[in-house]
């Protein structure tokens, strides 16, 4: 049976804050020696108020090894933009814990995807609410990776279906077109590749 060699590549867009009404374009990743791969996109709000219009996140492929006039849309994700619930995390919640303390749970719902917005953006995380203790805490499905002190949680976070990259693609990039999205937000786009078959 064939064995695939796979690699987790450098993030196309490492987790970062994007200013309101901005467009961010990742560096192009060379796929010419790869047998395909997959792109994983996560989006989180950093402000609870409405954002006027969707951000459009495009995964783009190129048939060329260089040049910027050869990009084709492989997939596009349009985000929500209505107001969301934002709550400050009370106290310090240690890494490895599932219970996040908050003073108010109004408008939070079991099953909600939340973005935990840490003041150090690289320590932010995406999680899903598993249970709620009214106006006390929310429990998440998986343990926190980072301690959360002074963080805020925002619901209506988005984790999109992964996008398959065909083996014929020469380069790949992502464009976070938030020109009409009038609030700051967080984005993280990761890439895995199939490097060979043995």
Write the CA distances from 68 to 34, 35, 57, 104, integer angstroms: 20, 22, 18, 48
Listed residue (63, 109, 62, 57) closest to 87, CA to CA:
109
Determine the Cα–Cα distance for residues 140 and 126; give it in Å rounded to an integer: 10
Whether residue 151 contacts residue 116, with contact meaning beta carbons closer than 8 Å, is answered with yes
Question: Which pLDDT belongs to residue 1?
Answer: 82
Q: Which domains does the chain have, with CATH numbers?
A: 4-82+160-197 (2.60.120.200), 86-154 (2.40.30.290)
Determine the Cα–Cα distance for residues 136 and 127; give it in Å rounded to an integer: 18
Question: Which pLDDT belongs to residue 108?
Answer: 97
Looking at the DSSP bridge assignments, the partners of residue 127 are 114
The residues of the chain scoring below 50 in pLDDT are: none
């Amino acid at each position: 049976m064939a064995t695939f060699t796979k690699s987790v590549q450098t993030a196309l867009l490492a987790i970062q804050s994007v200013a309101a009404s901005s467009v961010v374009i990742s560096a192009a990743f060379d796929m010419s020696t790869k047998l395909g791969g997959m792109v994983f996109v996560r989006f989180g709000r950093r402000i609870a108020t409405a954002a006027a219009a969707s951000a459009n996140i495009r995964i783009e492929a190129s048939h060329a090894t260089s040049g910027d006039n050869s990009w084709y849309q492989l997939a596009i994700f349009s985000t929500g933009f209505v107001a969301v619930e934002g709550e400050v995390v009370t106290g310090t919640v240690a890494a490895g814990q599932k219970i996040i303390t908050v003073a108010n749970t109004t408008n939070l719902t079991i099953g909600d995807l939340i973005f935990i917005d840490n003041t150090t953006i690289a320590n932010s995380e995406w999680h899903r609410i598993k249970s709620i203790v009214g106006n006390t805490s929310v429990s998440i499905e998986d343990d926190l990776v980072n301690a959360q002190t002074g963080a805020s949680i925002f619901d209506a976070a988005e984790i999109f279906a992964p996008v398959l990259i065909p083996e014929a693609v020469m380069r790949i990039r992502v464009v976070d077109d938030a020109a009409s999205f009038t609030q700051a937000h967080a984005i993280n786009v990761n890439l895995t590749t199939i490097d060979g078959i043995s």
